[in-house]
Amino acid sequence: MVENPNLGKRFAAASKPDLSILLYAGPPFFFGWQGMSVVAPIVWWAILAALALFSEYRPNPNYDELKSRPIGFGIALVAFVSIYFVARWLSPN
């Protein structure tokens, strides 16, 4: 059996924690934990949606942006508001 010399490097790169979850889901959780209004995660969603909309990333020339971006924005909004209410339910306040 021949060992792949890059296997260890690939595993190390794949096992690194992805800290972007703290940037995306952390603020809605914090807003709920602190008992802020539900408007706070919606504003956070609007900021992230605007940044995503105005980014210049185009994965493919045939990418149908008008079809896939609203779906992603809707999923993100539902997720942010859900995280907010879970944190609000868990908070000791």
Q: Classify residue 40 as exposed, middle or buried by CB count within 10 Å of its CB (0-12, 13-18, 19+).
A: middle
**Is 25 domain-assigned?**
yes
State the Cα–Cα distance between residues 28 and 44, nearest whole angstrom.
8
| Per-residue pLDDT reduced to its tens digit, 46-78 | 998 888 877 766 667 776 777 777 888 899 899
Q: Answer whether 0.85 is exceeded by the pTM.
A: no
**Alpha helix segments (H runs only) across the chain:** 7-14, 20-33, 39-53, 65-90
Both structure tokens of 27: 């603020």
Domain-located, residue 26: yes
Does residue 1 form part of some domain? no
For residue 38, tell me if it sits in a domain.
Answer: yes
* Residue 7 within any structural domain of the chain: no
- 10 is a domain residue: no
CA separation for the pair 42, 27 (Å, rounded): 11
CA distance 51 to 62: 21
Q: Domain span at residue 60?
A: 16-90
Cβ neighbours of residue 73 under 8 Å, at least 6 residues apart? 45, 49, 52
Q: What are the tens digits of pLDDT across the range 16-40?
A: 667 778 888 899 999 999 999 999 9
4 domain-assigned: no
In total, the chain counts a number of residues equal to 93
Structural domains of the chain, count: 1
Q: Determine, yes or no, domain membership for 9.
A: no
